[in-house]
Structure 1
Amino acid sequence: MSVNVTREFINGLPKAELHVHIEGTLEPDLKLKLAQKNQIDIGQKTIEEVRASYQFDDLASFLAVYYPAMNVLQTEDDFYELAMAYLRRASENNVRHAEIFFDPQAHTSRGISFATVINGLYRATVDARALNVDARLIMCFLRDYSRDSARKTLLESSAFRDKFIGVGLDSDEHNNPPMKFFNQFTQASADGLHVTAHADIDQKDSIEHIRELLEVIGSERIDHGTNVVEDPDLIEFAAKNKIGFTSCPLSNSFVSPEMKGKEVLELLDNGVKVSIHSDDPAYFGGYISDNYYALAKNFNFSQEQVVTLAKNSFETSWISKEQKALYLKEIDDYVNQFNA
């Protein structure tokens, strides 16, 4: 018998967050505070005006709002404050483990040093232990920048290798296939880093990009990637190889009215390790529990399906088998106690 999934159940469920852009957690109040501190004219003077500026209807218009907002991030303490604000919310959502994207090129291209960015973020991941959140960093390449920019970024990152655990690929996918960065992925893997990459929903050549990631690059996870349902052979490959797919319902809803809920169900039914995350929560209107609840409510997910999504998030995370076992036991204990 299926059990109705309540918001209370979802909020308390132990989760791993594997798809969140730290720059996308810049809430209007913090953006305004940092703008005033750093004396940057952002064209808005109230929190309401900042919130009203977060308007877009596709990926290109979103990025046109998203990147200029980062100008308020200037110092190591700014990046620390940004990350700590997210990690406090993660703790409130019972995120026990987080693997957080950051985009160094978005900052080095405007004169902020790589060290300023990563040192501020890393300091927050250390302090997050006091919030009972285990947090790590993933360095993303901006795919609409040149491959030489990615090469230089990977080279520069080598001095900070102890502060992040993997590389990713994000930003505008149009005319920027994964294979553009084949050499960087190969080098990162050789250096012992984990590999993931965005395959945004309903893009031109989506299925070919997913094929490149799965069959050639060897990506361990695919961020978004639910277009994989178009190819039964790739679904079978993903299930067999335990590839993680990180779906973000609320951000999907800006592109696809049904937030790819049917695709998530299809992936679950086919044994694919799909999980749910928040993407850019300051812009898309909800943190991880909000994303779980939106999906469960709109597509009548059972408690068992929601629990599977949470377990998948830990199983496809980049932590040890021993850590995974502890978190999976936390989930089982929580479900048993909640249902009792």
Structure 2
Amino acid sequence: MQNLIEKMPKAELHLHIEGTLEPELMFDLAKRNGLSLPYDSVDDIRAAYDFQDLQSFLDVYYQGMAVLQTEQDFFDLTFHYLQRCADQNIVYVEMFFDPQAHLSRGIAFETVLKGIIRAMQQAKTDLQVESQLILSILRHLDEDDGLKALDLAIAYQDYIVGIGLDSSERNNPPEKFRSLYQKARQAGFRLVAHAGEEGDASYVRGAVEVLRVERIDHGNNALQDMKLVAKLREMQMPLTLCPLSNLKLKVVEKVSEHPLLKMMNLGLKVTVNSDDPAYFDGYLVENFTAVQEAFQLKPNQLIELAKNSFEASFLPQERKAHYLEKLMRFSRKNRVLTGA
């Protein structure tokens, strides 16, 4: 099973690039930029990753971003993650980035984007890892602030495929960003939103019906509303689940309580992802391993989850077909009966 998980071609659709900032790189960048950290060692940083909920994580997450100052910093951050993708047979990834969190620190949008894009281009050439970007709007800020970030993104649509919504969910419902999403849709962006991690099922419904997203990030609490579940199943709305993230932030007490298997059994289109892996004790392989062990998933179920990730991506159809055929070849080679 472990060999299957490690070797099968995979896509990741719910990954915050700032959430891949490992403590070792944090120290290196702080030293390079002449910054002091409120930690004495890598172990001290890891000890601070004892989160009680989403907000306690976000406090540390935004603090860690302070070391990201230059184009080279963003290149190093992104290329480190894409190298790990190559090691884990993640052949395609859609990465979130949070420009508002950098703009508020006086870091230019172009500085952030150029560093990330240069790493993406080099990884495609050197590592054969393909990637696209999704700009995430910070929902704890007002819509006008988000609209400014959207306007910047419109000038870089060759590199940014979609618009997302993240940060503190509670008391920041999807409806708050109705106008922003309408403008993003008219501009041609693909649309996703975090919903149903902290917020109840109404947050998922709002993302689907008001923001008209094509994909829900998390979506756990959709199970509170079986009419909504039926709608999501009928639409085959992808849900980008993040098991170890949910465990670390105490959304669930143990992986076996995660809704992934129940959602699969209900016919929902779910994917496995790592969210902010440097903070949550695991990248994509570790997330797959955790759910396989918790639910005793069979090989065909693992292949199904990988297949969902390609089908739910924002790749052009010919690239989807390419990766799906690659996955099916792998499945046949390993004698995995899909659809069994």
TM range (shorter): over 0.9
Q: What's the offset of the Cα at 1:96? A: 1.0
Question: Is 2:295 the partner of 1:299?
Answer: yes
Equivalences for residues 93-132 of structure 1 within 5 A: 93-129=88-124, 130-132=126-128
SS at match of 2:191: strand
Q: Deviations over 1:212-242 (max 9, x none)?
A: 1112221100000021122222122112222
Shifted more, 97-106 versus 192-201: the winner is: 192-201
Q: What's the offset of the Cα at 1:8? A: 1.2
Partner of 2:242: 248
Question: Is 2:37 the partner of 1:50?
Answer: no
CA distance in 2, matches of 1:121, 1:31: 16
Question: Is 2:188 the partner of 1:188?
Answer: no
Shifted more, 236-245 versus 82-91: the winner is: 236-245
SS at match of 1:283: coil
Question: Is 2:159 the partner of 1:163?
Answer: yes
The answer on whether the counterparts of 1:29 and 1:47 sit within 8 Å (CA) in structure 2 is: yes
SS at match of 1:223: strand
Partner of 1:235: 229
Shifted more, 140-149 versus 155-164: the winner is: 155-164
The answer on whether the counterparts of 2:238 and 2:271 sit within 8 Å (CA) in structure 1 is: yes
Shifted more, 104-113 versus 262-271: the winner is: 262-271
The answer on whether the counterparts of 1:244 and 1:275 sit within 8 Å (CA) in structure 2 is: yes
CA distance in 1, matches of 2:305, 2:69: 37
Shifted more, 48-57 versus 299-308: the winner is: 48-57
Q: What's the offset of the Cα at 1:180? A: 0.5
The answer on whether the counterparts of 1:252 and 1:260 sit within 8 Å (CA) in structure 2 is: no
Q: 1:47 and 1:262, CA in 2 relative to 1: closer, same or farther beyond 3 A?
A: closer
SS at match of 1:99: strand
Partner of 1:214: 208
CA distance in 1, matches of 2:208, 2:39: 43
The answer on whether the counterparts of 1:247 and 1:275 sit within 8 Å (CA) in structure 2 is: yes
Partner of 1:153: 149
Partner of 1:225: 219
SS at match of 1:165: strand
CA distance in 2, matches of 1:93, 1:200: 28
CA distance in 2, matches of 1:324, 1:236: 26
SS at match of 2:236: coil
Identity fraction in percent: 42
Q: What's the offset of the Cα at 1:200? A: 4.1
Partner of 1:335: 331
SS at match of 1:174: coil
- What TM-score do you get using the length of structure 2 for normalisation? 0.95
CA distance in 2, matches of 1:253, 1:44: 25
Q: What's the offset of the Cα at 1:60? A: 1.1
The answer on whether the counterparts of 1:55 and 1:65 sit within 8 Å (CA) in structure 2 is: no
What amino acid sits opposite 2:131 in the alignment? A
Question: Is 2:27 the partner of 1:32?
Answer: yes
CA distance in 1, matches of 2:121, 2:147: 28
Which runs of 5 or more structure 2 residues have no equivalent in the other structure? none
Shifted more, 156-165 versus 253-262: the winner is: 253-262
CA distance in 2, matches of 1:20, 1:260: 22
Q: What's the offset of the Cα at 1:62? A: 0.6
What amino acid sits opposite 2:186 in the alignment? A
What amino acid sits opposite 2:78 in the alignment? A
Equivalences for residues 59-78 of structure 1 within 5 A: 59-78=54-73
Partner of 1:3: none
Question: Is 2:2 the partner of 1:7?
Answer: yes
Question: Is 2:305 the partner of 1:309?
Answer: yes
The answer on whether the counterparts of 2:256 and 2:295 sit within 8 Å (CA) in structure 1 is: no
What amino acid sits opposite 2:47 in the alignment? A
CA distance in 1, matches of 2:51, 2:316: 39
Question: Is 2:86 the partner of 1:86?
Answer: no
Which runs of 5 or more structure 1 residues have no equivalent in the other structure? 1-5
